[in-house]
């Protein structure tokens, strides 16, 4: 039994070390609604854009603490669409991409779905 235990522990430690070196730490956060985002301070942390409509729900964001990349999405109620769109700048040359401060957005008006990412500095 001991002959198998030590090699098994050594293999487990080796696998753990390999994964910790080569697999990036990525945080995936899901928020039920706007209030949950506020409670978790996701806007203050820069993971969710501050123009998030108060009707937003099914909010999700992914970020890597070791890189500047942030990706997210949320749904919104149609009543907030005009206000949201008025805050965004249409980047005509980028095929439907809109911008606000440090974020880029793609909006699916039929599904009331917004996908966003942060702008990456060159």
Stretch 42-56: mean pLDDT, rounded? Answer: 95
DSSP H helices in 1-122: 2-22, 34-40, 81-87
Q: What pLDDT is attached to residue 98?
A: 93
Q: Structure pTM? A: 0.77
pLDDT in tens, 91-120: 877 778 999 999 999 999 999 999 999 987
Q: Predicted confidence band at 24 (pLDDT cuts at 50, 70, 90)?
A: low
- C-alpha distances (whole Å) from 99 to each of 9, 74, 106, 120 are 51, 16, 9, 12
Task: Let me know the angle formed at the C-alpha of 8 by 5 and 13, rounded to the nearest 5 degrees.
Answer: 125
Nearest to 59 by CA among 68, 47, 45: 47
Q: What pLDDT is attached to residue 92?
A: 79
Residue 87 pLDDT greater than 90, yes or no? yes
* Least confidently predicted of 6-15, 62-71, 94-103: 6-15
Please give the mean pLDDT across all residues of the chain.
Answer: 85
Stretch 76-100: mean pLDDT, rounded? Answer: 91
Residue 6 pLDDT greater than 90, yes or no? no
Residue 25 pLDDT greater than 80, yes or no? no
Distance CA(84)–CA(74), nearest Å, equals 12
**Secondary structure of residue 74 in the 3-state scheme:** strand
Nearest to 114 by CA among 59, 62, 36: 59
Q: What pLDDT is attached to residue 88?
A: 95
Distance CA(109)–CA(59), nearest Å, equals 16
Distance CA(50)–CA(63), nearest Å, equals 16
């Amino acid at each position: 039994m001991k002959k198998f235990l030590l090699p098994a522990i050594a293999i487990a430690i080796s696998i753990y070390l390999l994964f910790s070196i080569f697999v990036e730490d990525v945080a995936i956060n899901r928020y039920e609604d706007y209030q949950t985002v506020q409670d978790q301070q996701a806007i203050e942390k820069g993971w969710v854009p501050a123009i998030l409509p108060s009707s937003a729900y099914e909010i999700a964001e992914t970020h890597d603490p070791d890189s500047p990349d942030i990706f997210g999405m949320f749904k919104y109620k149609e009543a907030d669409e005009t206000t949201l769109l008025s805050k965004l700048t249409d980047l005509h040359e980028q095929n439907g991409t809109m911008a606000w401060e440090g974020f880029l957005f793609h909006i699916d008006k039929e599904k009331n779905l917004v996908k966003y990412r942060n702008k990456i500095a060159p």
